[in-house]
Amino acid sequence: MTILEAAAALRAKKVSSLELTDESLKRIERANPKLNAFITVIADSARARAVAMDAELSRGVDRGPLHGLPVAHKDLMKTRGVRTTAGSKLFFDFVPAEDAAVVEKWNDAGVVMVGKTGLHELAYGITSTNPHFGAVRNPWDTERIPGGSSGGSASAVAADLVFAASGTDTGASIRLPASFCGVVGLKPTYERVSRRGVIPLGLTLDHVGPITRTVRDAAVAFNAMAAKSSSFVPPAGADIRGMRIGLPQNYYFDRLDVEVGVAVRGAVQTAAALGARIVDLRVPDIDALNTVARVLLLVEAVSNLGPYLARRADFGADVLALLDQGRLISGADYADAQRLRRMFIGEFSKLWTQVDCVFTPISPIPAPKIGQTTVEIGGAPEDARLASTRFMRAINALGNPGLSLPCGFTKSGLPIGLQILAAPQQEDKLLRIGAAMEDALALSARLRSLPTP
Amino acid sequence: MTDWKKIAAALEPPIPGPDVEKIVPTLEALEKAFRPLQKTIPAGADVWTGPENVA
């Protein structure tokens, strides 16, 4: 069931919030030993909250489409009275006294939080293979990573354990796991969703957004968390005739897995068949902007986590190596990276006068295996982390919104993701195009065929 | 090129030698990509300070 289907069923009294919550908890109990998607499950308080939400609805108090639906929060969001680990030993026993803004917003919308999802340690990586809490697994192939850092959120939504989950994205961390797990992830415009109460990684790069099973569900979940809210949900038969879709002629299709290229180009053809106008364009130097974004993140992360570095043994090796790198970069280099960032934003702003959105692959590869540190693309080995994120990292420095949605499968049955980018604050346009693509690509039956493990 | 090992040894607390060895190749590659970009920054170019502060 999607959010919109469940919301309709609740109001038609075909199901109650308590029944939906019990079903969610039952699925988590069954699937979590295999997926490790949750670090914490709060069954009793979730049931109590569901009863309260049912009572509200019966009194005629209706908070909107998320009212009474079971959801999860990435364990990076502070939750009052519920342990918040950030996937780290540093926060192993941390129980916040207040909720993050995104938790407050979803609570106001009537959600039932059933638990906190697993993630890459401190949200600083893309595998979600966590040295302290174990590897989160991809429901399409449990020997593969779900992506990260919001891997537990994507895995839980894909396996139909919850209707939606929150995520954060500092370089790919909503969009990549959404893609690897065959669900939808929205990285909104920078600061469109408040970062208050989210344990920070990169202060000028962190974005908060939703992970859901459909684009329309993403719209509902985003509207409920956005600081400046919209009520837009793409209508049935969303029309994209005449919309200008940019197709990069450089960079994004240069080095990628053949099956990924075929699926994404197929999506472009689908958009054209819907009446969109495909505009060939050249994008600014993405490799250069990725470099800038890496310098920014290395320094910002150590600025946040540096005070804990006396406890070196409490960090996983990959995160520690990144923090050590950040300590060695100078303040002058960081300031120059922020100068370059501003120059790139200026360059990109010209692009948004030519097109309504840009289509790219999310990642050059489908989900790698757990423990795989290098991947082979076109016969050449690449670092799995840098390869997986190279179509996304730059976008965090720009602050533009980006949508990740499934656009196909590999022959071996792994989902492939399409990235749709738009100008800042253009989430509604992005969601409209995404919904039209989702309808036309008609993958929902196969995506929903994934059995709960 | 920057002497990363020398900087690492001067930090407080210092980064242990074997850990520095592991990250030097990555930092060297990053520096190789970043230094040419720095040369493209015009004199007096402003830094990014937020979404409203664009070039």
Confidence bin at B53 (pLDDT 50/70/90): low
Strand pairing category for A38-41 and A112-117: antiparallel
Weakest mean pLDDT among A266-280, A408-422, A439-453: A439-453
β-strands A357-361, A244-248 pairing: parallel
pLDDT digits over A327-379, tens only?
999 999 999 999 999 999 999 999 999 999 999 999 999 999 999 999 999 88
Side chain identity at A381, as an amino acid letter? P
- Does residue A146 carry a pLDDT above 90? yes
Note whether A119 and A128 are within 8 A (CB): yes
Catalytic residue among A16, A17, A24, A74: A74
Amino acid in position A141: D
Q: Specify the fold of A3-288+332-448.
A: Amidase signature (AS) enzymes (3.90.1300)
Phi and psi at residue A357, to the nearest 5° = -160, 170
The pLDDT tens digits for A169-218 are 999 999 999 999 999 999 999 999 999 999 999 999 999 999 999 999 99
Q: Quick one: pLDDT at residue A71?
A: 98
- Give contacts of A341 with chain B, Cβ < 8 Å: 48
Sequential DSSP letters for A22-57: HHHHHHHHHHHHHH--EEEE-HHHHHHHHHHHHHHH
Residue B6 has what pLDDT? 94
Are residues B48 and A339, on separate chains, in Cβ contact within 8 Å?
yes
Q: Is B19 in Cβ contact with A321 (below 8 Å)?
A: yes
- Average pLDDT of the residues of chain A: 96
Give the pLDDT band (50/70/90) at residue B50. confident
Spatial contact of A28 and A115, defined as CB atoms under 8 Å apart: yes
Q: What is the pLDDT of residue A229?
A: 74
- Name chain A contacts of B20, Cβ cutoff 8 Å: 324
Q: What residue spans define the domains of chain A?
A: 3-288+332-448, 289-331
Q: What is the ipTM of this complex?
A: 0.96
Contact A309 B13 (CB under 8 A): yes
- Rounded Cα distance between A177 and A149, Å, is 7
Best residue of B3, B4, B47, B52 to probe chain A, by most A CBs closer than 10 Å: B47
CA distance A108 to B55: 38
pLDDT at A228: 79
Token output for A96? 């916040």
β-pair type (A374-377, A164-169): unpaired
Q: Any CB–CB contact under 8 A between B37 and chain A?
A: yes
Please indicate if any CB of chain A lies within 8 Å of the CB of B39: no
pLDDT at A451 over 90: no
Mean pLDDT over each residue of chain B, to the nearest integer: 92
Q: Which residues contact A48 (CB under 8 A, 6 or more apart)?
A: none
A173 carries an active-site annotation = yes
**Per-residue pLDDT tens digits for A290-305:** 999 999 999 999 999 9
Unique residue bearing structure tokens 């039209």 = A436
> What pLDDT does residue A378 have?
85
Q: Which residues of B touch A335 (CB under 8 A)?
A: 47
